[in-house]
Copies of this chain bind each other. A is one copy, B any other.
Amino acid sequence: MSVSITDVARAAGVSASTVSRALRGQPGVSGEVAAQITAVAARLGYTASRSASSLASGRTFTIGVVVPYVGRWFFGTVLDAAEHVFSAAGYDVLLYNLGSPETRKRFFTKMPVRKRVDAVLSLLIPDEEESAALRSLGVPLATTVGGARPGFTVVGIDDRAGTESAVRHLVNLGHRRIGMISGSSGPQHWTTPIARRQAYLEVLADAGIEHDPALEADGDYTVEGGERAMTELLAAARPPTAVFAQSDEMAMGALRALRRHRLRVPDDVSVVGFDDHELADVVGLTTVAQPVAGQGAEAARLLLRQLDEPDAGQPGQVRMPIRLVLRETTAPPRPRGPQ
């Protein structure tokens, strides 16, 4: 088998407990002995068994990260940043990718993270039952999506403000028929699409524009969905001259649909996205930028802090800044003849 703590102890001529203390930098070991032990451990290629040490200490030095789709840019980027923070602090990351309802259900019923992690970062919005399941783990919890949730540290953005800046921009350009491609809120329990829709309606009302339900379509947060949604909107009796998409991926799908319909952007239709996807710049997409990696890193840091100071009181809530990035997909509506 592989080298254990007693092997190191024997080779160094000390007891296992001394090795344990020395390697973890605990006080109570003379510098000389500690150095000697460190050297021997390195020579033997010794690593403490996480299973054994967590069984003995109760700590796992592992963080569970729950993600709906690792493959999607937004989540991949959040995860990337969070992982860096965790690993720099000596924590490992256990990844749970819960795209389908089945995997999600399996996760929340079997709870494979139980007794396996010191904290959980959730990039999906748990419903009430799922939240309760997570809280029952008895470890610090955080999320980077959605609104406040009891027991969770939340790092997010101001969805209303972001949406307002986008839709106002279109209004200010002179648009009156402004469509919206929303992300579905269905099985994922997003509050995000709801908040953004509300803000959209408010800006329209503020501008004295009557809301037309025919100008709303569901894009399912995907490129294909965005394309479908845009196609729907174009089929309306009076199609929009501008569209706000609740994510850049849907906006890109919309761009594709517009191209297929031989409509020019922004001459015929303006498009605004949300996120500032890494490829938004490539397609020249005007969008609401949010610090995606920043949110992952911040959530990770807050989680680590809770781990360090267990009695720090209630989990906090952080709002990161957003900002409208003007590119080439928005312009004033084309002047038309009367009516």
Contact = CB atoms under 8 A, between A and B. Distances in A.
Interface string A43-59: 00101111110110000
Interface string A93-120: 1111101000100100011101110000
Interface in A62-120: 62, 65, 69-73, 76-77, 79-81, 83-84, 87-88, 92-97, 99, 103, 106, 110-112, 114-116
Contacts of A50: 51, 112, 115-116
A270 B234 CA distance: 31
A210 interface: no
B87 A76 contact: no
Given A49-B115, A73-B76, A76-B76, 5 more contacts: A50-B51, A70-B70, A87-B103, A87-B106, A283-B283
Contacts of A255: 282
Contacts of A128: none
B60 A71 contact: no
Contact of A71 (B52, B69, B76, B97): B76
A140 interface: no
Where chain A touches its partner, the secondary structure class is: mixed
Given A73-B73, A94-B92, A282-B256, A80 B51 contact: no
A265 to B, nearest CB: 12
A90 to B, nearest CB: 9
Nearest to A248: B279
Nearest to A96: B87
Q: Which 10 A-B pairs have the closest CB atoms?
A: A71-B80, A76-B76, A83-B97, A47-B114, A51-B55, A49-B115, A95-B95, A71-B77, A51-B54, A70-B80
Contacts of A80: 69-71, 97, 99
30 contacts: A2-B115, A2-B138, A49-B55, A50-B51, A50-B115, A50-B116, A51-B51, A51-B55, A51-B60, A51-B116, A70-B79, A71-B80, A71-B81, A73-B76, A76-B76, A79-B95, A79-B97, A80-B99, A83-B97, A87-B96, A87-B97, A92-B94, A92-B96, A94-B95, A95-B95, A223-B278, A223-B281, A223-B282, A252-B282, A259-B284
Given A83-B70, A283-B282, A115 B76 contact: no
Interface size class of A (residues with CB under 8 A): 35 or more
Contacts of A99: 80, 84
A240 interface: no
A317 to B, nearest CB: 25
Q: How many copies of this kind of chain does the complex include? A: 2
A253 interface: yes
A43 to B, nearest CB: 14
A293 B70 CA distance: 12
Contacts of A84: 97, 99, 103
A71 B294 CA distance: 13
B83 A112 contact: no
Contacts of A136: 45
Nearest to A106: B87
Contacts of A77: 71
A179 B170 CA distance: 41
Given A49-B55, A111-B47, A72 B76 contact: yes
Contacts of A278: 223
